[in-house]
Amino acid sequence: MPTIEARGLTKRFGSHVLAVDHLSFTAIPGGVTGFLGPNGAGKTTTLRMLLGLVTPSSGSVLVDGHSYRDLPNPTKRVGAVLEASGFHPARTARNHLRLTALVAGLPFARVEECLDLVGLMDAADRKVGGFSMGMRQRLELARALLGKPDILVLDEPANGLDPQGIAWLRDFLRFYASESATESEEGRIVIVSSHLLSEAQLIVDDVIVLTSGRLAAQGRLADLLAGTSRSVRVRTPDATRLLQALRAANLPAVERDGYVVSEGATPEQLGPLMVENRIEVHEMASSTESLETLFFSLTGGESAPGQTAAPVGDYRRFVEGPTFSPDPSPVAPSSSEGVQP
């Protein structure tokens, strides 16, 4: 069974930057694990330590109980799609893949399979220098898949992909993670790092959330989202009567931005109440917490150190003059599900 385990993983860059701070986590096979966090949370550094490209200052991250550098043929164990991974611009896509195939002792036929899989067969003999960002990402994916690894690590794979490309990648990762479940019982580990939460929510089963190099949360996404607060908001010309009715029914109610918002209530509670009181409804929406709001609650609405809301305030002050006072509370966006009345 493939395993990835980090214990007290720490990385300092210089004496001031603590990129990863005593991070411990375990990745679970049989699904897609989201490696989430704001920019600068230490996602990329952690993944690069996992892949032996960056040396930890202390602690360890082990693949199948070994350090990556001690794996006899890592291409067959771990596939990695990294940002800023390089291509020689003058080398063709096919030759780029053949280099890795040679080192890993894989037949060149496998290169053709992977080119075909990512849809680059037509561009196989073109120089990578002329490739678009999306094609380079596909080529990276093809290289990662050469050794049919049980562990796939992707760092911000959606970057540079167009919407079709993202959808393709999403389907592919689901397929790859599930394919193993039927083929062998042990399952595969697929780790996808992302700061695009709405995108990640569509792919991941498990999440590992990082903030400032520390673990903020780990678990199944569904479990983490369950038990979090939900709310219903209603747009109505009879706001005052609805507020009265809700308070009479012991439900929390506030008026906000032209909506009546009831935190913790469900549409099933509000519907009958409004029918009973003959309140005209123009719009009713229930919002369950999304990964994004969960994320903001876990990270305290903060980005990485030095990337908090302050620069935005400074920027606006600069643009709008010294009289402007920035709103201190960042707005936590939430995804809404429309309900027709």
Partner 1 sequence: MIRLLRAEVRKLWTIWSTYVVFGIVVLIDLAFGFALGFAPGGRHGGTAGIVPHGSLPWFTNVFSVLDNSRLLALVLGALIITGEYRHKTVTPTFLAEPRRGRVVVSKLGVGFGAGLLLGVLTMVAGLILGFILILVRVHSCVWLGGVSQGMSHAACSARQGLYYSANLHGMWQDWSQIAPGVILGTGLFAIYGIGLGALLKNQIVAIVVGLIFTLVVETIITAIWPVIGEYLPGQAATALEDAARTTFRDNGPLLPWWGGALMLLAYGITLAVVGTLTTLRSDIT
List the interface residues with partner 1, window 40-69 (CB under 8 A): 44-45, 48, 51-55, 68-69
List the interface residues with partner 1, window 12-31 (CB under 8 A): none
* Per-residue CA distances from 157 to 100, 102, 161, 292, 309 (Å): 20, 25, 8, 19, 26
What minimum distance in Å lies between the beta carbon of 314 and partner 1? 28
Site for partner 1 contains 89 (CB under 8 A) = yes
Candidates 36, 83, 298, 54; CA nearest to 192 is 36
Residue 288 gets which letter from DSSP?
A: P
Site for partner 1 contains 95 (CB under 8 A) = yes
What minimum distance in Å lies between the beta carbon of 100 and partner 1? 5
Which of 1, 103, 202, 312 touches partner 1 by CB under 8 A? 103
Reported for 307-313, long-range contacts at CB under 8 A and 24+ positions apart, including other chains, are 307/38, 307/39, 307/40
Which amino acid is present at 190? V
Site for partner 1 contains 86 (CB under 8 A) = yes
Which amino acid is present at 294? L
Which of 12, 59, 62, 104 touches partner 1 by CB under 8 A? 104
Binding span for partner 1 by CB under 8 A among 34-42, 101-109, 214-222, 246-254 = 101-109
List the interface residues with partner 1, window 190-249 (CB under 8 A): none
| Closer residue to partner 1 in complex, CB, 53/332 | 53
Q: Which residue has the tokens 């493939």?
A: 2
Cα separation, 320 vs 330, in Å, equals: 19
Site for partner 1 contains 100 (CB under 8 A) = yes
- Rg of the chain, C-alpha, whole Å: 24
List the interface residues with partner 1, window 266-305 (CB under 8 A): none
Which of 85, 159, 287, 335 touches partner 1 by CB under 8 A? 85
Which amino acid is present at 177? A
Binding span for partner 1 by CB under 8 A among 90-98, 169-177, 216-224, 230-238 = 90-98
Residue 66 gets which letter from DSSP?
A: B
What minimum distance in Å lies between the beta carbon of 52 and partner 1? 4
| Closer residue to partner 1 in complex, CB, 105/264 | 105
- CA 242, distance to chain mean position in Å, is 39
Site for partner 1 contains 80 (CB under 8 A) = yes
Residues across the chain: 341
Site for partner 1 contains 339 (CB under 8 A) = no
Positive/negative CA dihedral, 295, 38, 78, 21:
negative
List the interface residues with partner 1, window 108-147 (CB under 8 A): 143
Cα separation, 111 vs 147, in Å, equals: 10
Q: Which helix (H) or strand (E) holds 22?
A: strand 17-27
| Closer residue to partner 1 in complex, CB, 71/251 | 71
- Binding residues vs partner 1 (CB under 8 A): 44-45, 48, 51-55, 68-69, 71, 74-75, 80, 82, 84-92, 95-96, 98-100, 102-105, 143
